[in-house]
Amino acid sequence: MKKRVLVTGGAGFLGSHLCERLLKEGCEVLCMDNFFTGNKANIIHLLDNPYFELIRHDVQQPILMEVDEIYNLACPASPVHYQFDPVATTRTSVLGAINMLDIARKCKAKILQASTSEVYGDPEVHPQPESYRGSVNPIGPRACYDEGKRCAETLFFDYKREFDLEIKVVRIFNTYGPRMHPDDGRVVSNFIVQALKGRDITVFGNGLQTRSFCYVDDLIEGIVRTMNTDREFTGPVNLGNPEEYTMLELAKKIVELTGSKSSIVFRPLPEDDPMQRKPDITLAKKVLGWEPTIGLQAGLEKTIDYFGERLNG
């Protein structure tokens, strides 16, 4: 009997890669997406697979189904998209979590929440361990995403305590790779698209703020390993690459790899933009036996190839 697995946000960047991985592992996959940021092109090659089913549905609305596992990835994840309709973003995180937790409770299914490093806000602790409770502005322009994800984590742990639900929570740090949306406002896709088009590369602030970049294949491996842990392990667990780069270093690396003639220009820093972001992955190493294996240069080369084909297609 094949395991029946629901992936919400399954047509998105991460969701589509996860659907592929689960099909390869012999699962029956239900991909749910409302296509606000998801793209049918990301999963078009899966539609002929008899064990793949696409469901057009918004997680804000209740739905009934029978499943064995749920990966809850549904939510706009880039500032451009989650600030476009901040109320809907919060509703997606909060109501989406409630609706998926209710399915898991009814089916006695295992459920994983894709949380985010944004729960740490602009951190006062560096690198960020899971025990750090964060420094988040609850009324700022990013709060719809940050606080929505924090509330979703609350709900997951309350459902565990109240209903003995089997839950997993992963906190995802910056991830990049093929199928990123070219206009999502994230730094890797922004820089690559600007470089390939020969436009100025826009760096916010002085470019000395740091991020850590995890290639998508490594991230998916970490998510699947988390779902497959013993019932006692709930997380939250950080998943990300602990190698840290400044925005200026990233911009220069992408100019070099693309052979672009683009200039680097500076723009004002957005409100509440964190100055540092780096995961402490001690827990992931210990419990999951996981750490990233794909370095920044190798991952960027694959991502640049993808965007090159997409922009010329």
Determine the number of helices (DSSP H) and then strands (DSSP E) in the chain. 9, 13
**Which ranges in the chain belong to alpha helices (H)?**
13-24, 79-82, 86-107, 143-163, 187-196, 216-227, 247-258, 282-283, 296-312
Which amino acid makes up residue 307?
F
**How buried is residue 204: exposed, middle or buried, by Cβ count under 10 Å (0-12/13-18/19+)?**
middle
| Distance, CA of 33 to CA of 10 (rounded, Å) | 6
Q: Which of 145, 159, 176, 215 is catalytic?
A: 145
| Distance, CA of 16 to CA of 10 (rounded, Å) | 5
Under 8 Å between Cβ of 23 and 10 = no
Under 8 Å between Cβ of 207 and 191 = no
Under 8 Å between Cβ of 92 and 76 = yes
145 catalytic, yes or no? yes
Catalytic residues: 145
